[in-house]
Amino acid sequence: MSLIERQRGFIAEIAADDDLAPSSPGMAIYRNAYRARLADALAVSFERTRRWVGADMFDLASAHYILSHPPCSWTLDAYGERFPDVARELFAQDPEVADLTWLEWHMQQAFAAPDRGELTPAMLAGAELGESDWERLELLPAAGLAFRPVACALPTLWSALADPAARPLSPAAIEPAMLLVWRKGLAPHYRLVALDEFAALAPLLDGASFGEAAAQAGEDRLDQFGQWFAQWLGDGLFAGLRLAD
Partner 1 sequence: MTGEIAPFTGFGLGLRKEHHAAFLAAEQPVDFVEIISENFMACGGRPLHTLGAVRERHPVIMHGVSMSLGSPHGLDRDYLAELKMLADRVSPLWLSDHLCWTGVPGHTAHDLLPLPYTDEALESVIANLRLAQDVLERPLLVENPSSYHAFPESTLSEWEFLRILAEESGCYLLLDVNNVFVSSVNHRFDPLEFLDAIPRDRVRQIHLAGHSQGPEGLLIDTHDAPVCAEVWALYAQAVERFAPCATMIERDDAVPPLGELLAELDQARSHASLPA
Applying CB under 8 A, which residues contact partner 1? 1-4, 6-8, 10-11, 14-15, 24-30, 33-34, 37-38, 41, 70-77, 79, 110-116, 143-144, 183, 186-187
Q: Min. distance of Cβ 27 from partner 1 in angstroms?
A: 6
Judged by beta carbon, residue 38 or residue 90, the one nearer partner 1 is 38
Q: Min. distance of Cβ 53 from partner 1 in angstroms?
A: 24
Question: Shortest CA distance to 68 belongs to which of 89, 91, 47, 45?
Answer: 89
Judged by beta carbon, residue 113 or residue 202, the one nearer partner 1 is 113
Judged by beta carbon, residue 119 or residue 150, the one nearer partner 1 is 119
- Cα 125 from chain centre: 31
Judged by beta carbon, residue 13 or residue 197, the one nearer partner 1 is 13
The neighbour count for residue 212, using CB atoms within 10 Å, is 18
Judged by beta carbon, residue 76 or residue 140, the one nearer partner 1 is 76
Q: Min. distance of Cβ 237 from partner 1 in angstroms?
A: 16
Q: Min. distance of Cβ 232 from partner 1 in angstroms?
A: 20
Q: Min. distance of Cβ 220 from partner 1 in angstroms?
A: 40
Angle of helix 210-217 versus helix 195-205 axis, rounded to 10: 150
Q: Is the dihedral of CA 76, 61, 48, 40 positive or negative?
A: negative
Question: Shortest CA distance to 103 belongs to which of 169, 149, 65, 141?
Answer: 149
Rounded to an integer, what distance in angstroms lies between the CA atom of residue 199 and that of residue 148? 13
